[in-house]
Structure 1
Amino acid sequence: MHSSVLRSLLLGCGLLLAVLGCSPHGDCGCTQPPSGTVQGRLVDAQGQPVVGAEVCVVTLSVYDPAHPGIFVQAKGRSRADGTFEIKATVGRHRLLVRAQVGPTVFLPRLGPEFELSTPGMLVAGQDLDLTATAPATLTVAITPAHGAQQEDALLLEQLLLVDGVEYSLPIASLKPAVVAGLETVLFSSQPPGAYTLSLWRSETTGTHPVVGTAKATITLAEGATLDLPLPVQ
């Protein structure tokens, strides 16, 4: 229970920093840590440049051994020739591409580890090849729907296997609404793979105690359409 609460707080802090723009590209007025630059190029299975795909600089963490995580440090986009250039903090990182470009969805692609050891350092040649896939659709029905004095926090994560360890990558964090007595969430255009859904229900009055939770681990097949009931305990 304590590890789940800590993990939720860490995720919340990360999302808040992202909203505030506290990243190597942010403009929040805070002191930015020393950074360097990573360069590379994205191509598809035919060797053609992939244009406009989001590229993330990530770190892999086993701070909580029960829940190893992938955390985004910086983001950029590929240019017309498939090249990209991203500023990131000093440290050991990897590149991650989990992208949709127009109607095309690509399988998640995690690059090898690289190190920005000194401020101003340039790491070049971090090229990645991407594989297009038939996306899957996931519809989640939360039962029972939350009441007027309650709210739900739903987290979708994709599980990625790296060197024999399964890491979780946060995909979406939201508060579902109840419409006509139904509480449903649609996740469209998702790459196939293993996913985890976690839900925390709390009262919106008083000290906001947690009054229910739900969790499910699922596998989305390529091109599948899955309807998932998520019962709150």
Structure 2
Amino acid sequence: MPRPLLRPLLSGLLLAVLGCTPHGDCGCTPPPSGTAQGRLVDAQGQPVAGAEVCVVTMTGSDPVHQGLYVEAKGSSRADGTFDLPAVVGRHRILVRARVGGTVFLPRLGPEFELKAAGTLVAGPDLDLTAAVPATLTVAITPVHGAQQEDALLLEQRLQADGIEFTLPIASLKPAIVAGIESVVFASQPPGTYALSLWRSETTGTHANVGSAKATLTLAEGAALDLPLPVQ
């Protein structure tokens, strides 16, 4: 069972996966929305096709440190253009994509505002920078017991307009294989990441019995092995 601190984040990630966003199919009534439009190009100005593009909403009250919530997803067309739904309010465009064997550095576009339902906001071209992907292998010690479970969260730290944004990348429960508890995050763009782990009992009150945190930098093309000790 997720710990209380994890529940809001895990719920948000689950809703995004299931499609229960403002534009999902969960049976809820979607709020008024419009369209965000743009185009992706590479360093040479050529269109980038097939890249995942997201409309994200900023969360949190700290003006310097913000979280990002994925509101809508789509892909760029052959000419690099995209159209995504967006509810009335302030948003950004996020691209964190791998196209074929090419990984691009995450790109956060400038903030824009959709002021009325049914309107279209056309943004500038977003230029993407290709990078050599990195691999992160996390080894958790000591391994969790037979009546315990671990919840591991990987986030990436992004910067734009003097603001640091936190983007959830993966949330999972590591398994023990051959006496080793480890997780491999392959093909990640270089950058600054944060790992957080919560260990809890699976019986009784599901008490929190341990945690671990680490901040790391993945260099371009690196293969980093990181021990994560649980306290």
User: Contact 2:114/2:120 (CA < 8 Å) preserved in 1?
Assistant: yes
After TM superposition, list the pairs within 5 Å mapping 1:1-233 onto structure 2.
Answer: 5-6=4-5, 8-63=6-61, 68-233=66-231
Q: Matches of 2:147 and 2:17 in 1, distance apart? A: 27
| Deviation of 1:124 (Å) | 1.3
- Aligned-partner residue type, residue 60 of structure 1: M
Unaligned runs of at least 5 residues, structure 1: none
Tell me: CA distance 1:64–1:180, structure 2 relative to 1, closer, same or farther (3 Å): farther
Q: Matches of 2:116 and 2:47 in 1, distance apart? A: 30
Q: Matches of 2:228 and 2:37 in 1, distance apart? A: 42
User: Contact 1:138/1:186 (CA < 8 Å) preserved in 2?
Assistant: yes
- Aligned-partner residue type, residue 183 of structure 2: V
| Deviation of 1:28 (Å) | 1.3
Query: SS in structure 1 opposite 2:15?
Result: helix
User: Contact 1:38/1:126 (CA < 8 Å) preserved in 2?
Assistant: no
- Aligned-partner residue type, residue 157 of structure 2: L
What is the Cα-based RMSD across aligned positions, in Å? 1.7
TM-score (normalizing by structure 1): 0.93
Q: Matches of 1:78 and 1:219 in 2, distance apart? A: 29
| Deviation of 1:72 (Å) | 1.1
Deviations 1:26-47 (A, max 9, x none): 1111111111101111111111
Higher mean alpha-carbon deviation, 212-221 vs 118-127, is at 118-127
Q: Matches of 2:14 and 2:139 in 1, distance apart? A: 27
The structure where strand makes up a greater share of residues is 2
Q: Matches of 1:15 and 1:71 in 2, distance apart? A: 9
Tell me: CA distance 1:65–1:145, structure 2 relative to 1, closer, same or farther (3 Å): farther
| Deviation of 1:208 (Å) | 1.0
How many pairs does the alignment contain?
Answer: 229
Q: Percent identity?
A: 76
